[in-house]
Amino acid sequence: MEFCGVSFMRDLTNLQKTAALHEARWWEPEANGKVHCYLCPRHCHIGEGQAGFCFIRANQGGRLYSLGYAHPAALQIDPVEKKPLNHFLPGTRVFSMGTAGCNMGCFFCQNWDISKSRADQVRSSHVPPEDVVALAIDNGCPSIAFTYNEPTIWGEYVIDICRVAREYGLKTVMVSNGYITREAFHDVYDHIDAANIDLKAFTESFYGRITLTHLQPVLDTLQWLKNETNVWFEITNLMIPGLNDAPSETRALVDWVLEHLGPDVPLHFTAFHPDFKLRDRAATPPETLHAARAIALEAGLHYVYEGNIYSDGGNTSCPSCKTLLIRRSWHDVRKNSLKNGCCPNCGLPIPGRWASTGAHTAGMRIAKDRVGAGERHGDLNL
Ligand code: SF4
């Protein structure tokens, strides 16, 4: 699949604020000057002067270039609970960034202004990996999240940021739709500390009609994460009235998680609000999330959350003695009673990554190296 034309490539090239385009990974040349991108399961075959489905991987002169490299369209500081991650450095700030473009075509996209807009290239700045890490440390963030749009499609930039982040003791987070090929999976996730993967539904018809992709590759990614990495990961299921909220579908999704990933993977049921091409649907009623959470807990999942609403379903409790461990209000942590990652009442270890190390010392080291990063990039949201 390929999109756009020669003028598109010329425009984007002009909008890059560096002297040279960054050559991509995960591609091979084809006949007639085309290239095959195998970073995600779309497997775009891209003609000269054209871009793939995601907008930000383009063929120039028979080579594939990453137009998102070092060109974020959004830089912000969020609570880590907003990703959502409830078992990863709770109560901390995460330096969050995204570029233009996406490899899915979700009608309900809640970040469509950057994921579907080539124009966001105009608002991007040139921010090399070292400056991303310096900005994160300057702003007191022990971790960096690749989020807002799909970070898989700018995997080259993700990897280079991770290399610098690890050097300075910062953690890294993928907030992803899980749509990545086997060939690229370890190249990216071997550098990552935590992930939230959207499992947008549990039917192929939803994935095909509403996201323009397929379900099975996402399930494959979840199993690779579980069986082949040490990445801490949680799952989000955005519930859309009438499209993916049937109790039978929720039960099937939960049963799959239990069988293939186990009971300790946190599952977040979150509320949809009308957006992008799905403005004719009502927002998800809280009762839908309550019912889904009850199904998952009854089936045997240990950590099930409700998101995008005010609810006690955002709290973490011990699955053994039911002691309240972490009390949250929306994305705020109001109380954290964990003791060394364990329940203070019965001592049960609670799965997750609870402590951060290194960022303070790293901050002092990097400050000497990268003085001025904050001044160069000004307001974070570009
Ligand atoms: S990453 Fe982009 S260009 Fe590559 S296969 Fe996926 S959608 Fe196509």
**Joined tokens for residue 119:** 């124009």
Digit-coded pLDDT (tens) for 312-342: 999 999 999 999 999 999 999 999 999 999 9
The answer to whether 254 and 267 are in contact (CB under 8 A) is: yes
Among 95-99, 147-151, 222-226, 360-364, where is mean pLDDT lowest? 360-364
Q: Taking 50 as the threshold, does the pLDDT of residue 191 lie above it?
A: yes
pLDDT value of residue 9: 57
Task: Give the number of other Cβ atoms within 10 Å of residue 25's Cβ.
Answer: 16
Count the residues in the chain.
382
- CA–centroid distance, 91 to ligand 1, in Å, is 35
Cα 309 to ligand 1 centroid, rounded to whole Å? 34
Q: Which atom of ligand 1 is nearest to the CA of 101?
A: 2
Q: Is the model's pLDDT at 79 over the cut of 70? A: yes
pLDDT exceeds 80 at position 35: yes
> CB within 8 A of 286, min separation 6: which ones?
271, 306, 309, 311
Specify the pTM.
0.91
Query: How far apart are alpha carbons 331 and 337 in whole angstroms?
Result: 17
Which atom from ligand 1 is nearest to the alpha carbon of 55?
2
- With a 6 Å cutoff on the Cβ, whether 191 touches ligand 1 is no
Please indicate whether residue 24, judged by its CB atom, sits closer than 6 Å to ligand 1.
Answer: no
Does residue 353 line the site of ligand 1, with CB under 6 A? no
Q: Are β-strands 22-23 and 63-66 bridged in parallel, bridged antiparallel, or unpaired?
A: antiparallel
Is the beta carbon of 40 within 6 A of some atom in ligand 1?
Answer: yes
Mutate which of 50, 57, 63 to test ligand 1's pocket (most atoms within 8 Å of Cβ)? Answer: 57
222-253 pLDDT, tens digit per residue, is 999 999 999 999 999 999 999 999 999 999 99
Scanning the chain, the segments in alpha helix (DSSP H) are 6-15, 112-115, 129-138, 155-167, 182-189, 204-206, 216-228, 247-260, 286-299, 359-369, 373-377
State pLDDT tens for residues 298-313.
999 999 999 999 999 9
How many whole angstroms separate alpha carbon 123 and alpha carbon 130?
A: 20
pLDDT surpasses 60 at 19 = no
Which residues, 6+ apart, have CB-to-CB distance to 368 below 8 Å?
none
What is the average per-residue pLDDT within 14-22?
64
Confidence of residue 18 (pLDDT cuts 50, 70, 90): low
Q: Is the CB of 102 under 6 A from ligand 1?
A: no
pLDDT at 23: 97
